[in-house]
Amino acid sequence: MENNKKVVTLAYGCQMSERDAETLTEITRRLGYLPSDDLETADLVIVNTCCVRESAENKILGKIGELKKLKERNSNVKIAITGCMVQQPDALERLQKRAPHVDMWSGTHNLHDFSALLQRVEQGEKVAEVWQEPKTILEVTPLAEKGKLQANVNIMYGCNNFCSYCIVPHVRGRERSRKPEEILQEIETLVNNGCREVTLLGQNVNSYGKEFSPAYDFADLLQQVDQIAFLIRVRFITSHPKDLSDKLIETVANGEKLCEHFHLPIQSGSNFILECMNRKYTREYYLSRVQKIRELIPNASLTTDIIVGFPGESEKDFEQTLAMMNQAHYSQAFTFMYSKRSGTLAAKMEDQIPLDVKKRRLQKLMSVQNQESLEWRQNMIGKLVEVLVEGPSKTNPQRLSGRTRGNELVVFNGNLETIGSLVNVRINEAGSWTLIGKVE
Ligand code: 5AD
Ligand code: SF4
């Protein structure tokens, strides 16, 4: 169609948010919108938001402000703000006041209703709809763009854990697992469209299927996904340490396509802080899980999330977090300053940590982890690793890049024809963020 409308979808935050943004793009595509990157010529701009930390919210508020100027230049453009930030209790009214130029507000639970809302917006109406509870398990399964090598697949929605700092259970609702048949069907469709790697997404994939009868858990699902023909790799995030079963570790150890990578957020190395965070494990338990992984899968790579400056965190608590880095040997850690989220338990805790202390701790933690990550990469020098070739390297388009099974980024000289397939690369250098190697 020549006179298609154009949609620009911007996603902030985690892979769930990215996945939701893809769903929205697909819903609009079915209504005749072509996906585009160019704001200036867009007919519709969708911003799928995140509210996990204040810094994310500030960035998004800045973008919404920029869109006001866009609307001044082009009064025909429609602006839709969706997702977690809008879903926060009491957020909608505040946001509406702040950004009257926005045409549509919608939360996380009515994502699949987007087309009905959009049609009203197209008639010139301003709409705002946030449901307090999810009414269905979303079964919007967009067909993958042809030729897309990797895809994220939701296996469940929501979270029951209520870690005391976290807004996610407040904006994503309780855990709901999708049926295995639906997930397997979605992955098969993706694979038929050229996808070779899937990442199974859930706030806590380890509690997948808890409500199912007869019993069927995440390890069972992984075993079935592992059987899908032409799929090359299967990844999954996130694993809550308290629910990481031996069965799951064994399944990954025995799997063919199941990548030996565990994202196992520790959040803190102090038992006192872990308890205040309501994480439901101790550092000792966590380390016993790490040991089990290392025992069954010696080459597994482990990544984590850590928060510094949680209310009440003393220097001693922080030192225990630092010590953890040298015990768990993460290949990578995502580190954050605690951010107060209104509506969560931790927001009301006394002894909030001053910003300068949080900053200092974050710097220290990052420098310790950078050293650890570098050592991890240096240990790979000389090894032959299996790389799924993704395409030209972003930093050096003369070279190709791809990832190991452990999710480490590798840059190498290679043949464009290998994109989308596996090559063996001998690692000969550890760069500051990547591995550098040669195809064998
Ligand atoms: N402040 C800082 N970091 C947070 N995270 C979640 N909530 C907060 C918060 N209030 C981090 C956790 C989680 C990751 C996705 O974001 O480390 O694992
Ligand atoms: Fe947030 Fe904890 Fe749930 Fe993860 S497990 S989404 S950190 S409440």
Q: Are residues 426 and 340 in the same domain?
A: no
What CATH number is attached to the domain comprising 109? 3.40.50.12160
Nearest residue (CA) to ligand 1, atom 12: 305
Contact 260, 145 (CB under 8 A): no
Residue type, 235: R
- The single residue listed with the structure tokens 């979303």 is 138
Residue among 85, 166, 339 whose CB has most ligand 1 atoms within 8 A, to mutate: 166
What spacing in Å lies between the alpha carbon of 166 and ligand 1's midpoint?
A: 6
pLDDT in tens, 256-299: 999 999 999 999 999 999 999 999 999 999 999 999 999 999 99
Domain boundary among 350, 376, 402: 376
Nearest residue (CA) to ligand 1, atom 16: 52
Residue 432: the pLDDT is 78
Contact 88, 167 (CB under 8 A): yes
Answer yes or no: is 138 within a domain: no
Q: Are residues 389 and 370 in the same domain?
A: no
pLDDT in tens, 5-32: 999 999 999 999 999 999 899 899 989 9
pLDDT classification of 1: cutoffs 50, 70, 90: very low
- Whether the per-residue pLDDT at 88 is higher than 80: the answer is yes
Residue 334 alpha carbon, nearest atom of ligand 1: 17
- Whether the per-residue pLDDT at 241 is higher than 50: the answer is yes
Answer yes or no: is 135 within a domain: no
Nearest residue (CA) to ligand 1, atom 17: 305
**Residue 262's closest CA among 219, 305, 204, 303?**
303
Residue 143: the pLDDT is 59
Residue among 171, 273, 305, 353 whose CB has most ligand 1 atoms within 8 A, to mutate: 305
Domain boundary among 347, 376, 405: 376
Nearest residue (CA) to ligand 2, atom 5: 161
Residue 304: the pLDDT is 98
Residue among 160, 176, 240 whose CB has most ligand 2 atoms within 8 A, to mutate: 240
Answer yes or no: is 143 within a domain: no
Residue 267 alpha carbon, nearest atom of ligand 1: 17
Residue among 204, 267, 338 whose CB has most ligand 2 atoms within 8 A, to mutate: 204
Q: Are residues 167 and 87 in the same domain?
A: no
Residue 341 alpha carbon, nearest atom of ligand 1: 10
Q: Are residues 310 and 290 in the same domain?
A: yes
Residue 172 alpha carbon, nearest atom of ligand 2: 6
pLDDT in tens, 354-410: 999 999 999 999 999 999 999 999 999 999 999 999 999 988 888 999 999 999 999
What spacing in Å lies between the alpha carbon of 309 and ligand 1's midpoint?
A: 11
Q: Are residues 124 and 51 in the same domain?
A: yes
Long-range contact list for 252-256, CB < 8 A, 24+ apart?
A: 252/222, 252/297, 252/300, 253/296, 253/297, 255/222, 255/223, 255/226, 256/226
What spacing in Å lies between the alpha carbon of 308 and ligand 1's midpoint?
A: 10
Proximal ligand: closest to the CA of 241: 2
Sorted by sequence, the CB contacts under 8 Å of residue 304 that are 6+ apart come out as 263, 264, 265, 266, 328, 330, 332, 333, 334
What spacing in Å lies between the alpha carbon of 264 and ligand 2's midpoint?
A: 12
Answer yes or no: is 305 within a domain: yes
pLDDT in tens, 44-75: 999 999 999 999 999 999 999 999 999 999 99
Answer yes or no: is 200 within a domain: yes
What spacing in Å lies between the alpha carbon of 339 and ligand 2's midpoint?
A: 14
What CATH number is attached to the domain comprising 420? 2.40.50.140
Q: Are residues 161 and 116 in the same domain?
A: no
Residue 238 alpha carbon, nearest atom of ligand 1: 18
What spacing in Å lies between the alpha carbon of 204 and ligand 2's midpoint?
A: 8
Decide: 23 in ligand 1 pocket, CB within 6 A. Answer: no
pLDDT classification of 2: cutoffs 50, 70, 90: very low
Q: Rounded to the nearest 5°, which phi and psi values hold at 431?
A: -80, 180
Answer yes or no: is 164 within a domain: yes
Q: Are residues 94 and 188 in the same domain?
A: no
What spacing in Å lies between the alpha carbon of 54 and ligand 1's midpoint?
A: 10
What CATH number is attached to the domain comprising 209? 3.80.30.20
Q: Are residues 363 and 391 in the same domain?
A: no
* Strand 197-201, strand 150-154: pairing: parallel
Answer yes or no: is 136 within a domain: no
What spacing in Å lies between the alpha carbon of 89 and ligand 1's midpoint?
A: 18
Q: Are residues 75 and 202 in the same domain?
A: no
pLDDT in tens, 138-171: 655 555 566 789 999 999 999 999 999 999 999 9
Residue 3: the pLDDT is 64
- Report the chain's mean pLDDT, rounded to a whole number: 94
Over residues 186-195, mean pLDDT = 92
Q: Model's pTM, two decimal places?
A: 0.93
Beta bridge partners of 81: 47, 105
Percent of residues, the chain, with pLDDT higher than 70 = 97
Residue 133: the pLDDT is 84
Q: Are residues 420 and 351 in the same domain?
A: no
- The single residue listed with the structure tokens 């859930």 is 202
Answer yes or no: is 137 within a domain: no
Residue 144 or residue 186, greater confidence: 186
**Owning domain of residue 346:** 150-376
Residue 122, burial from CB neighbour count under 10 angstroms (0-12, 13-18, 19+): middle
Domain count, the chain: 3
What spacing in Å lies between the alpha carbon of 53 and ligand 1's midpoint?
A: 7
Q: Give the binding-site residues of ligand 2, using a 6 Å CB cut-off.
A: 159, 161-163, 166, 168-169, 203-204, 240
Q: Are residues 320 and 235 in the same domain?
A: yes
Residue 141: the pLDDT is 56
Residue among 51, 157, 161, 264 whose CB has most ligand 2 atoms within 8 A, to mutate: 161
Q: Are residues 243 and 176 in the same domain?
A: yes
Distance, CA of 159 to CA of 78 (rounded, Å): 32
